[in-house]
Amino acid sequence: MMRRWLCNRFVGLLPPTRFYRQKAALWRLAGVDAAADARLTSSVEIWTNGRVSIGSDSFVGHQTLLIGGMAEIAIGARCDIGPRVTLVTGTHEDGGKERAAGEGKSLPITIGDGVWIGANATVLGGVEIGEGTIIGAGSLVNRSIPPYSVAAGIPCRVIRQRAVAHA
């Protein structure tokens, strides 16, 4: 975790949308499996002990936060993650009467190839977003979304299937 802390601090000093290859290399030194051509802006923060992978030609926007416990966060190839998106793997069991938040747990997040997630969306643990899906800005994704969907809302719901799925 210390390597990720240092990387969060150091990468934040670099120009926001420059030196992408160098930033990806720094994140790899911190234990993140970032493709050499992944583009992470300088304000991305990764605060998780779990495995994090970011696929080839993916973009992760300003002030995006990856946070949680030991569960994996996997971002596929050719994804576009908008600004201020939050990916949260951590949650709690129901703690009962005395304390609502019980024992902590961590659930994985899987984002398929070619996904676009709009600004300020939140993706919770246990969710898989299928390839080619578009998630609308401001959405709360608390359940898995099938491939080639357009989904939005709080909670996030499928609005329609993308025509490209049938091409």
Q: How far is the CA of 44 from the CAs of 4, 61, 66, 129, 148, in angstroms? A: 12, 7, 8, 20, 26
β-bridge pairing 127-129 and 157-161? unpaired
Q: What size, in residues, is the chain?
A: 167
**Distance separating alpha carbons of residues 98 and 91, to the nearest angstrom:** 18
Helix (H, G, I), strand (E, B) or coil at 9: helix
| Number of other residues whose CB lies within 10 A of the CB of residue 10 | 14
Phi, psi of 16 (to 5 degrees): -55, -45
Active site residue 92: yes
Q: Radius of gyration (Cα) for the chain, nearest Å? A: 16
Strand partners, 18: none
Which residues face 34 on adjacent strands? 54
Catalytic residue among 9, 92, 157, 160: 92
Catalytic residues: 92
